[in-house]
A and B are shown apart, each in its own frame.
Chain A
Amino acid sequence: MDFEPSDDQRLLVESVTRLLNDTYSFAQRKSYMALPQGYSPEMWGKFAELGLLGLPFAEEYGGFGGGAQEIMLVMQAFGRVLVLEPYLPTVVLCGTAIDAVGTAEQKRTLLTAIAEGSLKMSFAHGERQARYDLNDVVTTAKKSGSGWVLDGSKTVVSHGEAADKIIVSARTSGDRYDEDGITLFIVDANAAGVARRGYLSRDDTRAADLSLSNVSVPADAVLGEVGKGFAVIKRVVEAGIAATAAETVGAMEAMNEMTLEYSKTRVQFGSPISSYQVVQHRMSDMFITQEQGRSMAMLATIAFENPDEAERERDMAMAKVGIGQAGRYVSQSAVQMHGGIGMTEEYAVGHYFRRCMVIERLWGDPAYYLDKLAAEVA
């Protein structure tokens, strides 16, 4: 066991951090938010130049052959500045799905395009009625000639408007809750019958509801095996849990640093509030929680590469509970320690708070996973 990053990993973190230090101050971030896309296409290009967009892909697809650990390090750095660009949906979620079950041709065209920065993707799985249940899919795909026709709707698709292509899950057989019979399709975002209704999410990024009516896709739009999409979706979610756990760690670090700085400058009753033990102990608790959360993000990263499915699912669930609770505690405390200024839109801490809140409910909140763990107590 060895928790030290390798030299290569250290270099990766350094170069990402250097880039973000130059380009991602809170004021700069605000200017990216104001752009039509809600993020900076220029930054996307810089991520491509740095090799971040192909980080987890094989070299033959323009990638760097990195793994879960590299994603963890990058996401942690992203979390520190609340990166707005569609890295999670494109590289982590869709990248994982294509990498896992794509045909050689799909990998060659799609992964290469992602790595060079010319393709942005979204993963459209969640449906309004499903809440967190991954198997609850009512969007349908019916065979039509050699291709398929999709009908239904998807909700809160992260960066759905910005995506050039969207991976859509649809039921090709079975009933509403069946794990079997779910198939993944790669759909052109501009295909006839695809309507996207975009909106701002609480974390300052854009999301969209997707409606699909009579959308025709060719046979080679199928990603993976027909009817066997559920396992892929679970894999994608595992990648997402590990990545957002790391992002939460970065966000917690930033909030704790901000809180400490603020406590040293904010004078009340004649002294900086950092001199009061009640404030010191709260900040110590925030540090303890951050470190416990970091351990959980590491657990998710370890688990992602564990071939034992039962163990992997259990560790992922534990990590999801732990990181969600940690992010909630630190962000609530950070706002509290800042007092009134922490409540304002103009100040950064509230934006971290809201990103943690959004992450907490991606693919299931702590209560949801605690339920799963509770079911296994024996």
Chain B
Amino acid sequence: MVPPRPALSFDHLGFVIAVLIGIALFAAPFATYRATRIASGEARLVIEALPFSMAAALALVALGVALGAVLARDPLGRLGSAVIGLAVLLPSLGLSAGYLTPADNNFARVSPSLGFWLLSLSFSLLAVDALARMRLGPFGRLAALAVGASALALLLLSGIWDDLSILKEYDTRADSFWREARQHLLLAFGSLAAACLFGIPLGVASHRLRTLRTAVMQSLSIVQTVPSIALFGLLMAPLGAVAASVPLAAALGIRGIGAAPAFFALFLYALLPIVANTVAGLNQVPAAVVDAARGMGMSARQRLLGVEMPLALPVILAGIRIVLVQNLGLATVAALIGGGGFGAFVFQGIGQTAIDLVLLGALPTVALSFGASVVLDALVDLSKGTTPA
């Protein structure tokens, strides 16, 4: 459909990105300076937010990326220029924070502003577009994710961002940050594991028995329509009653308030995608293949484990991907009922109108969901590759 493109020509997407870069550089504040963490902010343009030489270097690199985005067609070249742009932009944010904060002032806060976000958005758009055009295989995507994650880890560990407001929030809460992180992962992955243990056998049974399937699917779809905070709240009552009457349950940490109702709610939400995808995966196994396996003298158990499940695996993994991304997001709400997780920072931040605290909770959640979806997408592709279609 698309005619072959010359190496150098006008690119519409590149034009949009170049306009964004222009706005970000000249018309939008790069960073926000606040005298205290909840004071209102003062905007600083690129030229005010960085020493002159750094500001000029950043502007030159950004203009270079803009020019490349408009003129260069080769995805590799575009990816390269986007990466160079990000490599200059991200450290310069940290430098700007150090530059704007007066010496020995622990109350002042510097946070990224619209200009920074627009610049990182335009560089990332360019990179994402180039990666999409390169049509990387599963290993390529995993490698790209690993490179991105290591670059981020390097930035955080090098201390170059330490003057930024969000890392100052982190500094005062380093202990609770990792405790909530562990809790978040425990909620999301624990309920996923429980849902797989319970949901995959239920899916296999529903695949065999039509009556069971209808009943299971309908009740699980109704569970999905109950809003998350209501389901969390509703489970507090029965679990509280269990804890009060069964000492063993209380000793195991089951309480009306806290992680138990959140865990159980996430488990219930996770069941529908797991069961539905198990059924769908088994349904699409060709009847001829199952017949052939029967003809080879395989028992029902051998057919299920050796033939049907491996063929259904990509679809089941796709269900697990949906659940994991959904759980990582929903686990944020658990904080409302005392279940912990990154949501604790989000809701504290909303309560104190402290944007940095909100971001301290929201950004790791987004990063985790994004990473999880890339990894599981790659796994889905790999599992398709290894099973004969």
Q: Do A and B bind each other?
A: no
Interface residues of B (CB under 8 A from A): none
